Structures are given as C-alpha cells and as structure tokens.
A and B are shown apart, each in its own frame.
Chain A
Amino acid sequence: MSVDGYLEAFRSQGRIVVVGASLAGLRAAEALRDEGFTGTLTMIGDEPHEPYDRPPLSKQVLLGKVPPDHTALPRRRLVDAEWRLGVAATGLDLAAKRVQLSDGDSVEYDRLLITTGVRARPWPRELEAELDGVFVLRTRDDATRLHHRLKAGPRGVLVIGAGFTGSEIASACRERGLSVTVAERGAAPLVGALGGVVGEVAAELQRSHGVDLRCGVQVTGLEGDAAGRVRTAHFSDGAAVEAEVVVVALGATRNTEWLADSGLGAGPRGIACDAGCRAFDVRGIVTDDVFVAGDVARSPHPLFGYQFLSLEHWGNAVAQAEIAAHNMVSASTDRRPHLWMPSFWSAQFGVNIKSVGVPPMADQIIVTQGSLAEHRFTAAYGHQGRIIAAVTFDQAKWLDFYESEIERAAPFPPEFPTVDRRPEGMQPVPAGFPDPSLPSHGPTVTLSGHSPTDRRITFTPRRA
C-alpha cells in the first residue's frame, strides 16, 4: 500500500485520540475538523469540565466578577468528538497504539495528540499542604475553593511565590481589601520571567498597593491550629506571619508521569518534539504517530538558536495545537513548523504587563520608552548584540514593532530613535536574571539544550 493511500484512508476513517481536553486539546480538535479529518476523534480529559479558559481564574474569578463555571471556552466549530471527561490517561503503549485510562478502559488510536499541560506544584510538605486554608490555583475547582474562602474575608492572606500567578492573586486580594503578605525566594517578583530590573518595578508596584512583600526569604513551615486550620507561616529569616489563607504559587509541574514507562521522551521538563510537533522517543528518534502541543511540549525554535522551549503561554497552546493538528493529517511535504513568537500578558495592580520573545535568554536590558518609576515603559532585552525580547508596562501598542525587530534579529542596543526616550534609557544595563542553576519558580519560558537529551541548562526546578 502506498503511503499516500494510507494518508487518504487515515484522513477519512482514521482514529485520533487527544489526551488533554483544555485549550490546546480543544483548538486542535477544531483544527483537525477544519483540515477535513472525518475519522473518529476521542477527547480525554482528567477534569470533569468541558474545556475552559484559565487566565480569568486568577483575575475576574477571584474578584467575584465572573463565576468559576462561566469560563467555558467558546467553540470555533462543532468537533463531533467522543468526550471522555473526568477520566485520566494512565499509560501509553506505543507498540499497540493504545492509551490506558484511569477507569480501566483503554482507547486505540492511529494517531495520538498529547496536550496534558501542567498542574500547580503543590506545597512540598504534605501534612502542611493538607491544612485547611492552604490552596493552589490552576484549575476551575481550585478557583472555586479559593474564591469561596476569599469572599469570607480572611484576616490575612499569604501568597508563597511571586511569579505571575502569585502576583495576580496578591493583586486580586488587595483589590478585595484583604491584607496580603507575599513571600518570594528570589530578589523580586517576576524575576525569573522578566529579570531584576523589571522585577524591581513589580516589587514597587506591589508595595505601593499595600502588599507586605518579603523577598529573599523562604517559607520554612506552615503551622495549623488544633482544628487543622492553617494559622502561621514561618520564614527563613525568623519571621512568623499570621494567615488564614495560604496560596502556594510555586510554578507548575508537567503532566508526564503517565508516560513514564512508555518509551516516549517525556520527563519533568515536558515532552520533547520536533518543530513539527512530533514527539521524540527516549532514543531521540522522532515518532510517526505521536504529536504534542501546549504547555507540556518542548520544541526547538529557530529564532532562539534552536533551543528547546517550553512555553506556558496561552497563545502558544493555541498556535501549537493548530500546527500539530495540521501536521497530523498532512503529507510530510505539506507539514509546517511551529515558529510562534513567544508572547504573554498579565494584568496586576491595574497594570497591563505584556512581553514578546524570550526575556530569560537576555544579558542586558534597555528602557527604550517611558519610565520605570512611572510604571509605564517599554524595555528591550538583548542577547549577544541582538534584540531577543521586549516587555511593556501599559504600553502594549509598541510590542508589534519589537516583535518584528526580534524576528529580524535586529541589533541590540536598538539603533532607532524612540518617542518618550528618557535619560534612564540611554544605556543598556544588566538584565538581572538569577543564576539559572539556582532553584526558582515562575518563569513562563523554560530553556533547555539543543537536543532532547541535553541537560545543560534548565530554568525549571523540580522543587520550590
């Protein structure tokens, strides 16, 4: 049988299984149908809910403006799939092309797409994590529980970890009028994602909004009362903070455990795949029928030296899902590479923070427009003499321009004049990223080496 003949048969009668029914899984399913796939489609999701949008959970939902169950994603089209929700995938048999499910059932596929994403990293001490009042925030159910407790007006909230999620939670709490302490192991909030210069702005933003921000400290223990409710947090500097609610915001862990013995190149840093979203196996050989997209994927990006990037970005989940879907039902010469420009946003303390490119690769930063002190600026990041990323605080309209500069590897520091250039923006300064070998949390981009087995650099710790 010719391979072309196989593709035609597969497109009309094949079986595709998507494991992971969130943003990436849903958009991939829609794209598969758009591409003309008419075979059977099975969607497997461990959460009982239909695909919903996560970014509102730490913003509108915690503020009480939107009920947690009003976050279901709009559909772009009908997908005509069999949905198996509330059932986790527990194993993968590559040879038999079969996914094992937590209910004992199994599903066979001709092609498989893995979009299992990440989950919140829990508080590492299990007994303390079980105290009443200790939360994480990743899922809709997490948001329901946390919002319910915040609504009751707890006397003190402690947020452990000042990455984007932790900072947004702190912002929502302050907007609700709650007293908030933020404990951050690094030198400043957002330091892993945006570096020390911008991190200082984020710190100033938090403090000016009444957050009791403590940087350079670790929470060494959580203490409960006789009824098992969390009451006190102990810090590495000897301080103790009273809190009725503790939110653990220590970044995310990739959902790859179910693939442990599968032979797929999956581990704590995600599933390595090629630029076309095809997964690598443990031998570093690309698979024919297993594709990956979204937060759980780790793929080489030509704009960034072919380093493998893991992007916990909403836009990446959508874009990579579309590429994976296209490639799953296309002949090899019709396939496309996933070349999405990393981009993300965060709204906190009334400021719109947006970024393009990969800031953690940078060695230098220059404020090209506006002023750090005014919390309204555009800054460009440089890596070995080229622009590698940019960030804006309430100046999003300039980002498209910087995106094109990154795409053409424009020189750094930038050679063009800019409006609203201030004295502070005349010279680049060190970007102030923490030593990547030190544990941190919160960066939304994870860099790794040039091959799936290369382990020289990692920005993602295994523990908080």
Chain B
Amino acid sequence: MRLVVDLNRCQGYAQCAFLAPDVFTMHGDEALMYDPQPDDEQRRNVRRAAEACPVRAITVEYGDGAPAAGTAGASRVG
C-alpha cells in the first residue's frame, strides 16, 4: 500500500490523524507527517482516513489493482 497527501490541499483538519494514528500524525499544531508506505494491517484505517478527508487530499494505491482513491493534486485551474 502506498499513499501520498497533497499538502497544498491539506488544511490540517486532522481527521486522518484520528482515524489512522499510526499512519498520519500532526507535527506541531498544523503540519501533517505520514507514512507513505504503511503496513497492510493499516488498510482499513487508511481507507477510512482517505474517505474522511474533508478536502480529499489523500491518494492511496492499495496494491490490489483497485483504482486509487482521492483526487490529490488534480489541477486547480484558477
């Protein structure tokens, strides 16, 4: 399982840090640090975290051929 967080999009709601605390942690008040390649046992937590992110900043590749969730980094045409 691999993941990446679009930290431009992240606004520090910290939903992921509550739902998958072994993968996502707040570093200071607002900065997010995460494990980009968590163990498979984190799969359920990561899925919940990705789905709960209010700004859809988390892209996950579950490694089972399923399409990746989230929309991280999609273009923001201004």
Q: Give the B-binding residues of A (Cβ under 8 A).
A: 27, 53, 55-56, 59-60, 65-66, 70-77, 303, 314-315, 318-319, 322-323, 336, 339-341, 343-345, 347, 349-352, 354, 376, 394-397, 399-400, 403, 406-407
Taking the nearest CB of chain B, how far is it from the CB of A55, in angstroms? 7
5 contacts between A and B (CB under 8 A): A349-B28, A350-B28, A352-B31, A394-B28, A394-B30
How many chain B residues touch A (Cβ–Cβ < 8 Å)?
A: 32
Contact of B78 with A352 in the complex, beta carbons under 8 Å: no
Residues of chain B within 8 A of A376, CB atoms compared: 29
Taking the nearest CB of chain A, how far is it from the CB of B38, in angstroms? 9
Given contacts A341-B78, A350-B27, contact A66 B68 (CB under 8 A): no
Query: Complex: how many Å from CA A349 to CA B29?
Result: 11
Q: Which of B12, B33, B61, B75 contacts A319 (CB 8 A)?
A: B75
Q: Which of B29, B37, B61 contacts A75 (CB 8 A)?
A: B61
Query: Complex: how many Å from CA A347 to CA B30?
Result: 9
B35 contacts the other chain (CB 8 A) = yes
Secondary structure type dominating chain B contacts: loop
Taking the nearest CB of chain B, how far is it from the CB of A346, in angstroms? 9
Taking the nearest CB of chain B, how far is it from the CB of A391, in angstroms? 13
Residues of chain B within 8 A of A345, CB atoms compared: 7-8, 10
Residues of chain B within 8 A of A341, CB atoms compared: 76, 78
Chain B's closest residue to A67 (CB) is B37
- The 8 tightest CB contacts between A and B, nearest first, are A350-B28, A74-B61, A318-B73, A347-B31, A70-B37, A352-B30, A352-B31, A74-B2
B 36-78 contacts with A by CB, 8 A: 36-37, 59-61, 67-68, 72-78
Q: Which of A53, A65, A72, A351 contacts B31 (CB 8 A)?
A: A351
Contact of B31 with A314 in the complex, beta carbons under 8 Å: no
Given contacts A318-B73, A323-B75, A341-B76, contact A75 B31 (CB under 8 A): no
Contact of A71 with B27 in the complex, beta carbons under 8 Å: no
Contact of A407 with B31 in the complex, beta carbons under 8 Å: no
Q: A340-B78, A407-B78 are in contact. List 15 more A-B contacts (CB 8 A).
A: A27-B73, A66-B36, A72-B36, A74-B4, A74-B60, A75-B61, A77-B67, A319-B74, A339-B77, A345-B10, A351-B28, A352-B12, A394-B29, A397-B11, A406-B78
Residues of chain A within 8 A of B76, CB atoms compared: 315, 319, 340-341, 343
Contact of A73 with B4 in the complex, beta carbons under 8 Å: yes
B19 contacts the other chain (CB 8 A) = no
Q: Which of B4, B27, B60, B61 contacts A347 (CB 8 A)?
A: B27
Contact of B10 with A396 in the complex, beta carbons under 8 Å: yes
B 1-17 contacts with A by CB, 8 A: 2-4, 6-8, 10-12
Q: Which of A55, A74, A322, A339 contacts B68 (CB 8 A)?
A: A74
Query: Complex: how many Å from CA A76 to CA B76?
Result: 18
Contact of B30 with A60 in the complex, beta carbons under 8 Å: no
Query: Complex: how many Å from CA A395 to CA B60?
Result: 26
Query: Complex: how many Å from CA A256 to CA B77?
Result: 27
Interface centre among A303, A323, A351, A396 (most CB of B within 10 A): A396
Contact of A60 with B33 in the complex, beta carbons under 8 Å: yes
Residues of chain A within 8 A of B34, CB atoms compared: 60
Residues of chain A within 8 A of B37, CB atoms compared: 66, 70-72
Contact of A396 with B11 in the complex, beta carbons under 8 Å: yes
Residues of chain B within 8 A of A60, CB atoms compared: 33-36
Chain B's closest residue to A397 (CB) is B11
Taking the nearest CB of chain B, how far is it from the CB of A44, in angstroms? 22
Taking the nearest CB of chain B, how far is it from the CB of A401, in angstroms? 12
Taking the nearest CB of chain A, how far is it from the CB of B26, in angstroms? 9
Contact of A322 with B8 in the complex, beta carbons under 8 Å: no
Contact of A396 with B12 in the complex, beta carbons under 8 Å: yes
Chain B's closest residue to A77 (CB) is B67
Contact of A352 with B29 in the complex, beta carbons under 8 Å: yes
